[in-house]
Each structure stands twice: as C-alpha cells, then as structure tokens.
Amino acid sequence: MTNLTTIIWLFPILFMIHDFEEIIFLKPWTIRNSNFFQNNFPKFYKKFFNHFKILSTESFALGIAEEFVIIVLVVLFANFSNDYKLWLGLFIAFSFHLVIHIIQSIIIKKYIPAIFTSILFLPCCIYIINFIVSSLSINYLLITLYSILGIIIMVGNLIFIHKFMKRFDEWLILYQNKK
C-alpha cells in the first residue's frame, strides 16, 4: 500500500467521524436551539431549521450512509484507476463543507453539531490536499474544475438526500403506525 493509497482512504474515515458528530448531536441540538433560531434567524428558521427539527435521526443517518457509499465508490475508482481528479474535487468540496460549519458557528456565536471535527479536521484536509496536489501532476485549472464539479455533486446530492430523508421519515411513520 502506497502513501497515496493510504491518504485517499482517509477521506471516508474523516467523513464518518465528522458525520458521527452530526448524527449524535443534531437532533437534541435542534430541539434545544429552536427558540434561539426562531427569534434571531426567522428566515433561516422557516426555510431550513424546521426541516432539521422534525427530521428523525434514522433518516439523517440513512442520508449520511448514502453519502458514505458515494465517497467509498469514488475512493475505489481513484484507487484502481489511478485517476485522482474526481477524488480531489470531492475532497475539496468536503473541506469546503468543514469551512462552512466553522463560519456558521462564528455567525451564530454558538456550538453547532460538527464544529469540533470541522476545526480538528480542516488542517488535516489542507495537508492532504497539498500532499495530493504535490504528488500528482494535476494542473490548477483541472483542480479548479474538479473542485467546482465536486461542489456541484455535493450540493445536488444534499438536495436529493434531504428530499429522500423526508420521504423516508413519512414511510417510517406509516410503518410504525401499522405495527
């Protein structure tokens, strides 16, 4: 196993540890902070917060599992094809996601689920990105294009899984009522 192989397999590990923090803390945090967001960020509350407040932990974990499968498939593709551009684009998108969590926490001046792992992992991600870029001969235009593609994939998939999670919760309620 080469250093490059080890490095690319860190992606699903970092992703899952980060998302474990979100799975464990999101539900109680949304309940505890509902009034704060309703009073201080009413537009955000109406548009997004209610969705997270009613979302079950099971459906949230299922959405994360779907993302994890995509990440593992991309890692496998990169590992077997020796083509790391898509991996790099998605990893940069993941790193950008960590930055967004840090900015969110700064804006609201409070803990948010995933802030600890965001702060802890961001320096690691920067190191990994620098390692991959310096190890491979990928020009900066391709890095930029694949980063944009990674962000588009990430945002598109987030929209998809949040719609799916809502439907899964509806199905879960129906299933539990039939018992």
The structural domain count of the chain equals 1
Helix axes 85-108, 115-135, angle to 10 degrees: 150
Q: What is the pTM of this model?
A: 0.90
Q: Which residue has the tokens 């001046």?
A: 109
Q: How many CA atoms lie within 13 A of 27 on its CB side?
A: 11
Range of the domain at 53: 3-178
What pLDDT, on a 0 to 100 scale, did the predictor assign at position 2? 66
Tell me the pLDDT tens digit for each residue of 127-141. 999 999 998 888 889
Q: Which residue type, as a one-letter code, is found at position 122?
A: L
- Rounded to whole angstroms, the Cα distance separating 8 from 128 reads 8
Q: What is the percent of the chain where pLDDT is above 90?
A: 68
DSSP symbol at 47: I
